[in-house]
Amino acid sequence: MGQKVHPIGFRLGNTKSHLSTWFAENQNYSNYLFEDYYLRKKLYQNYESAGFEKIEIFRKTENQLTMMISVEEPTILVGLNAQNLKNFQQEIRQIVQKYRKQHLPLKTPSKIQVTLHIFGCFNMSASSMADFLIEFLEKRYSFRSALNGLLKKKLKKKPPGLKIQISGRLNGAEMARQIWIREGRLPLQTLQAHIDYSSKQAQTIYGLLGVKVWVFHHLHDYH
């Protein structure tokens, strides 16, 4: 049987880097890990329409947090000319403090320093494509309408390669099945290939639908 390898994990250390970068002692490692997960989850929930590509988190100390956010619509996060930047920083600070208050009640609360770097991305990420499809599917559009809406209306410029897979009880069918489409090339076994990947779930009245998106952007040139 063929064994599937996660496209991003396969390229870590080569063309991909970890989204969380910090060192921790044994007793703090799991705390930092779950805190990062909670922070990303809250931002994805609060700003679904922003079109996140990735959220990188760096820590110098326990209370010094640096975040590099790549997003399609930066104005949704910080407003025009970054006029809401301080409010967004404060929101992140409150999310972290809330998590620590709930899960680390014995620790003495202290001031958290948050540094933000926000970048606009021109190419539509696999994550935002998956979010677009999920929004359509949860509004009870057919999967074909969702795919057509993405390919014909949402995508301003098609990438060199793209694959989309949706699985589950499609259109309320009794039996679960899987459909997929592919356009262009998708060199998954080439380490130099810049592959963006996202796997998410859509909650519909018929149950969960799995949505997976692979996007090939370009080949990395090491010379």
The domain spans of the chain are 9-120, 126-219
Residue type, 217: H
First to last CA, the chain: 37
Residue 162's identity, in one-letter code, is: L
Domain 9-120 matching CATH 3.30.300.20: the answer reads yes
For residues 153 and 144, what is the distance between their CA atoms, to the nearest angstrom? 13
Please state the rounded mean pLDDT for residues 121-126. 76
- 26-46 vs 85-103: helix crossing angle, rounded to 10: 130
Per DSSP bridges, beta strands 64-71 and 52-61 are antiparallel
Residue 22 clears pLDDT 80, i.e. is over it: yes
- How far is the C-alpha of 79 from the C-alpha of 65, rounded, in Å? 22
Task: Give the CATH architecture of domain 126-219.
Answer: 2-Layer Sandwich (3.30)
In Å, how far are 30, 63, 93, 100, 109 from 97, measured between CA atoms? 16, 10, 6, 5, 8
* Predicted pLDDT of residue 209: 94
Model pLDDT, residue 2: 65
- Look at residue 35 in the predicted model and tell me its pLDDT: 92
pLDDT of the residue at 120: 81
Can you tell me the distance from the alpha carbon of 84 to that of 76, in angstroms, rounded to the nearest whole number? Answer: 9
pLDDT of 54 > 80? The answer is yes
d(CA 154, CA 126): 13
148 with 183: CB under 8 angstroms?
no
pLDDT tens digit sequence for 187-205? 988 888 889 999 999 999 9
What's the pLDDT band for 137 if we cut at 50, 70, 90? very high
| 126-219 has the same fold as 9-120 | no
Query: Nearest 5°: phi and psi at 205?
Result: -70, -15
Instruction: Please compute the mean of the pLDDT values over residues 157-161 and round it to a whole number.
Output: 85
- Residue 85 — very low, low, confident or very high, per pLDDT cuts 50/70/90? confident
**Cα–Cα distance for residue pair 150/133, rounded to 1 Å:** 7
Mean pLDDT for the chain overall? 87
Confidence band, pLDDT 50/70/90 cuts, at residue 122: low
DSSP state for residue 33 in the 8-state scheme: H
Strands (E), 62-170: 64-71, 113-120, 161-168
* pLDDT at residue number 56: 93
Residue 221's pLDDT is: 72
The more confident residue out of 48 and 211 is 211
How far apart CA 94 and CA 90 sit, in angstroms, is 6
pTM above 0.75, yes or no: yes
* Model pLDDT, residue 123: 66
Computed from CA positions of residues 12, 14, 16, 17, in that sequence, does the dihedral angle turn out positive or negative? positive
Burial category of 69 from C-beta neighbours within 10 Å (exposed 0-12, middle 13-18, buried 19 and up) = buried
Query: Which pLDDT belongs to residue 51?
Result: 82
pLDDT of 178 > 90? The answer is yes
Average pLDDT over residues 19-35: 89
Q: What is the pLDDT of residue 109?
A: 61
